[in-house]
């Protein structure tokens, strides 16, 4: 049956592209995906597949119960966009100013919707139950996965699999790993409270820019001098805002950044040392500060057996040229919440357009649409491998 399903997926490739390009033209950012959620719900309505709306927020979960007994497995696709202006010169360019599918979630959604349409045809012969899990707000903490888990909507699920179309990896490549696959992602905001004044009289001020610059510099020493060299951590200050004009010393500076880690012990060390650095520098400069540290997504921890099933599934997809175990990625994903709740695995499907090197979250980001049927075949292949393993 798997070969027939794969052929059916190929037969609907043009519809998959059509859906993806429609969604690409009408992106909605995290927690604002109301029309996208309605589009997804309407699709399942036409297929006559039962679904739930507003799961954990804007989430949509459709349930296809097979004609034969088996396990219940969730297949997940996220559907939010980013607050980025689309700079591509393509017919399907975003029509919503300041919003863009710059991470491939439109492709994830098209992949899962068409897979659902295909599997509806095979419902009577299907072993077990598929949950088509359409998740909102992956891009912005606290994310959509956590409230979906907390809603209890997945309590009856036996396993969960997810895919990310990966635009920097060649088409035909599958990447994943057992254990920690993607990093935990925290966010911090530091406000330096100095004393402003005229640029000609710095001795009468507490220069928030100078203090902030020292903080940025010393934060890098946490990774190089406080974290075990055999461990991994990243501290990035992505925003430094201070001052209004060239000849006035700023009284306040704001630093916003991210911490990435692969295990919670390192997270604790970095968090403690970060506050120590800020407190010490501000004390030395007789300045005040405010530190807000927000714990974000935990690391994505793939389960061993389910990871093996992803590799098994790859062997049944002719378009997959290589399936490799890669080093942990320092990007984050709230799919981690599903894996903390249920067994499962997350994997990348290569979606690189030859000749383009635009990374995720770039204004000219795009995907090779031929990756979508590969992802669909991988997801359903993992589903069948899980059913076979647990029958």
Active-site residues: which are they?
Answer: 80, 138
What CA–CA distance (Å, rounded) separates 56 from 244? 42
Residue showing tokens 């599958």: 174
| Residue 361 annotated as part of some ligand binding site | yes
Helices (H), the chain: 2-11, 13-25, 34-47, 105-121, 145-150, 208-225, 264-284, 304-314, 336-341, 371-389
| Residue 103 annotated as part of some ligand binding site | yes
DSSP 8-state code for residue 31: T
Contacts of 368 by beta carbon, 8 Å cutoff, 6+ apart: 167, 171, 350, 351, 352, 353, 354
> 10 Å Cβ neighbour count for 91?
7
What CA–CA distance (Å, rounded) separates 81 from 281? 38
The tokens describing 189, both together, are 């905001």
The tokens describing 378, both together, are 């991988």
Count of all residues that appear for the chain in the document: 391
| Residue 105 annotated as part of some ligand binding site | yes
The tokens describing 158, both together, are 């036996």
Strand partners, 190: 255, 291
What CA–CA distance (Å, rounded) separates 93 from 21? 8
| Residue 139 annotated as part of some ligand binding site | yes
Do 105 and 81 touch, CB atoms closer than 8 A?
yes
| Residue 282 annotated as part of some ligand binding site | no
3-state secondary structure of 216: helix
Q: With b meaning 16 or more CB within 10 Å and e meaning fewer, what string describes 252-289?
A: bbebbbbbbbbeeebbebbbebbeebbeebbeebebeb
What CA–CA distance (Å, rounded) separates 37 from 58? 6
3-state secondary structure of 139: coil
Numbered residues of the known binding site for Mn(2+): 103, 105, 139, 164, 361
């Amino acid at each position: 049956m798997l070969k027939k399903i794969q052929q059916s997926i190929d037969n609907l490739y043009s519809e998959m592209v059509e859906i993806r390009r429609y969604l690409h033209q009408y992106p909605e950012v995290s927690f604002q995906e109301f029309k996208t959620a309605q589009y997804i719900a309407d699709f399942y309505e036409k297929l006559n597949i039962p679904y739930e709306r507003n799961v954990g927020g804007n989430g949509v979960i459709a349930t296809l119960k097979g004609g034969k007994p088996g396990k219940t497995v969730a297949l997940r696709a996220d559907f939010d966009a980013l607050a980025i202006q689309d700079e591509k010169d393509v017919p399907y360019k975003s029509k919503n100013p300041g919003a863009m599918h710059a991470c491939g979630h439109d492709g994830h959604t098209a992949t899962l919707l068409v897979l659902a349409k295909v599997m509806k045809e095979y419902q009577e012969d299907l072993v077990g139950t598929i949950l088509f899990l359409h998740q909102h707000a992956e891009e912005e903490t606290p994310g959509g996965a956590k409230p979906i888990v907390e809603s209890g909507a997945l309590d009856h699920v036996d396993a969960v699999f997810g895919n990310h179309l990966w635009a920097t990896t060649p088409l035909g490549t599958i990447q994943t790993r057992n254990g920690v696959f993607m990093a935990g992602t925290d966010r911090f905001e530091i406000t330096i409270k100095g004393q402003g004044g005229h640029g000609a009289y710095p001795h009468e001020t507490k220069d928030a820019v100078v203090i902030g610059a020292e903080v940025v510099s010393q934060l890098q020493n946490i990774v190089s001098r406080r974290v075990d060299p055999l461990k991994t951590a990243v501290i990035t200050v992505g925003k430094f805002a201070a001052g209004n004009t060239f000849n006035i010393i700023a009284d306040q500076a704001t630093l916003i950044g991210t911490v990435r880690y692969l295990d919670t012990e390192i997270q604790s060390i970095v968090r403690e040392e970060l506050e120590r650095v800020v407190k010490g520098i501000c004390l030395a400069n007789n300045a005040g500060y405010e530190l807000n540290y927000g714990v974000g997504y935990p690391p994505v921890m793939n389960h061993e057996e389910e990871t093996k099933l992803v590799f098994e599934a790859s062997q049944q997809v002719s378009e997959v040229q290589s399936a490799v175990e890669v080093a942990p990625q320092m990007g984050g994903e709230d799919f981690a919440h599903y894996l903390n709740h249920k067994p499962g695995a997350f994997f990348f499907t290569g979606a690189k357009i030859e000749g383009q090197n635009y990374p995720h979250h770039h204004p000219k980001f795009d995907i090779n649409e031929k990756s979508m049927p590969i992802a669909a075949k991988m997801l359903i292949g993992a589903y069948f491998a899980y059913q076979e393993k647990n029958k």
